Amino acid sequence: MSLWLLILIPILAAPFAWMAQQQSRSAPRWIALGALSVDGLVALLLGTGEHATQASGHGAWLVESSISWIPRWGISLHLGLDGLSLILIVLTVLVGVVATMASWTEIQNRVGLFHCNVLLALGGVIGVFLAIDLFLFFFFWELMLVPMYLLIVIWGHAQRRHASFKFFLFTQAGSLVLLVAIVALALLHQQATGHPSFDYADLMDLTLSTEMARWLMLAFLIGFLVKLPAPPFHTWLPDTYAEAPTGATIILAGILAKTGAYGLLRFTIPMFPEAMHEFTPIAMGLGVVGILYAAVLACAQTDIKRLVAYSSISHMGFILLGAFAGTELALQGVVMQMVAHGLSTGGLFLVAGALEERYQTREMSHMGGLWAVTPRLATMALVFACASLGLPGMANFIGEFLILFGSYATQPIMIILASLGMVMAAIYSLGMMQRTFFGRQQDTRSVQDLSNVVFGTVLLIAALQICLGLYPRVVLSTAQPVMNQLVQAAASSPTMPHPLSESLLSSHLTTSQGSTP
C-alpha cells in the first residue's frame, strides 16, 4: 500500500493545488512543494535500511503490492520497488522541486492549474517507475502525457501549438507501437498457458520464437527511443524543450526522458536478451550518431534553450550506448548518467529559463557579459556547464566514464567515436558560457539576480552533483543488484559470447570505482 502512497500523494494533491489558487498565488506552489517533499520522504523511508540494497527486481522486490484489476485480461495493479525505481523516484521528486522553483516567478497566471498539471505528470511518472504489470505500466506511461501537453499548450511560448502537436504525436505514435507489442506478449502468454497475462514475471518466463522476439523487441525499442529520444525519433525534442515553459522543460528533460531509459533497462533488456544482442551494433550506432550529431547541432545553436536541448539528446545517446553494451559496468554508468543528467539539465534549463524571463529572449547574441549583472546565475550556469561537459568530480563524469569504460570491450571503434562527444560537450558548454556571461554586455538593462529561495534550490542541486561525483557509491550500490540481475538475464541467452569474463571484470571494477572517486 505504501507504494500506492507514492503515486497517490502527488495525484491527490493536484486538485487541491488547483483550488488553492483562490487563496493566493503562492498557495499552489507551497502545496506542490509540500506534496513532493512528503513523497520524497516516503520514498527515502522505504528505501533506507539493510535490505534496500538487496532488492534486485525480478521477483526480489523491496516492496511489492498486487491487487487484481481486470482478471479477464490477467491485468493486476502490480507495483514493485527496487533499487533502480527508488533512485529514479527520488530523482523525480528532486526534479519536481526544481521545476516548481523555476516556475516560482515565471508562471503568474493560472498558477493553480499549472501546479495541478505538474503534480499529475509527476504522479504518472512515479507510476511508470513502479508498475510491473505491463498494462499498468502503459497506463501510467500515457497518463503523464496529457498534463505535460497541457503545460506546453497553455503556458508555452510563441510556437507552443506547433511544439505541443509534435510532442504529442511523436510520443503517442511510439506508445501505440509499444501497446501493440505489449498486447501481443500477453496474447502469446495466452497461447502458451491458456490465459492472458500482463504481469512482468509471467511475461519474462515466456519463450518466444526468434522472429517474434525480434519484432517485439523492435516495437518496445521504438516506444522507448521516442521518449529517450534517439535519432531518428528526436525531432520533436528541440521544439518542445524550447517552447515549453521552463518548469515543464525541466520535467521533460530531467524525468520524462528517463522513462525511456528506464523502459530499456526494465523491459527490453531482460525480456528479449537474444534479440537485443543481435541488434546491439545498430542500437549502439544510433547512440553514437545521437551523441555526435546532437553535439554538432548544439554547437551551432544561437538559442540557449535549444542548445541545452541538443546537449540533452547528446547525453541521452550515452544511455543508449551503455544500455546495449550490456556489461554491468556500463549499466551502472547508465543509472549514474540518468541521475546526473536529470540534475545537470534541470539546472541548465533553470538558468536558461531565468535568463529568458529576465531578457525576454533566448538568443545568446543578445546576452553577453552578464557575469557582472547576475553573478549568482552565472556561477550556477558555470557549475552546470562543467557538469555537462563531464568535468571530473561531477556526477556526469562518473556516468559517462563508466559507460565508455564498460562498453569499450563490446564495440571499441564506436566508443572511441562516442568519446569525441565529450570533447564536443566542452566546446558547446563553454561556448554557451562565453556567449552569455562573458564578453561585452549587449543588454544594459539592470535585472534581478536569482532570488534567495531559487538560489538555495540550485545550490542544493549543484551540491548533489558534486557529492555524487565524489561519492557515487550511493547510487551505484543501490542499483547494483538490479544491474547484476540484468547482466545475468542477458548472459542467460545462449548466443551471448563472453558473459563470464565480462561480469567478473565489471564487478571488480565496480568495487574499485565505488571506493575511489
* Minimum distance of another protein from residue 512's CB (angstroms): 45
For another protein, give the closer residue by CB, 120 or 370: 120
* Minimum distance of another protein from residue 130's CB (angstroms): 16
Give the list of residues 6+ apart from residue 142 with CB closer than 8 angstroms, or none: 175
Calculate the alpha carbon distances from 459 to 55, 229, 470, 471 in Å: 32, 28, 16, 18
For another protein, give the closer residue by CB, 151 or 289: 151
* Minimum distance of another protein from residue 176's CB (angstroms): 5
For another protein, give the closer residue by CB, 75 or 343: 75
* Minimum distance of another protein from residue 184's CB (angstroms): 5
Give the list of residues 6+ apart from residue 48 with CB closer than 8 angstroms, or none: none
Is the CA virtual torsion 157, 158, 161, 165 positive or negative?
negative
- Please give the Cα distance from 194 to 342 (Å, whole number): 43
For another protein, give the closer residue by CB, 117 or 246: 117
For another protein, give the closer residue by CB, 12 or 169: 169
* Minimum distance of another protein from residue 277's CB (angstroms): 25
Q: How many residues does the chain have?
A: 517
Q: Please, are residues 151 and 121 in contact by the beta-carbon 8 Å criterion?
A: yes
Place of cell 499529475: 120
* Minimum distance of another protein from residue 117's CB (angstroms): 11
For another protein, give the closer residue by CB, 179 or 409: 179
List of residues contacting another protein (CB under 8 A): 69-73, 138-139, 142-143, 145-146, 149-150, 153-154, 161, 164-165, 168-169, 172-173, 176-177, 179-180, 183-184, 186-187, 190
* Minimum distance of another protein from residue 341's CB (angstroms): 27
* Minimum distance of another protein from residue 212's CB (angstroms): 12
- Please give the Cα distance from 515 to 512 (Å, whole number): 6
Give the list of residues 6+ apart from residue 358 with CB closer than 8 angstroms, or none: 374, 447, 448
For another protein, give the closer residue by CB, 30 or 73: 73
For another protein, give the closer residue by CB, 187 or 416: 187
- Picking from 511, 382, 474, the residue whose alpha carbon sits closest to that of residue 91 is 474
Place of cell 546491439: 280
Cis peptide before 229 (omega within 30 of 0): yes
Residue 267 grid cell: 523491459
- Identity of residue 356: E
Q: What is the DSSP letter of 75?
A: E
- Please give the Cα distance from 85 to 407 (Å, whole number): 23
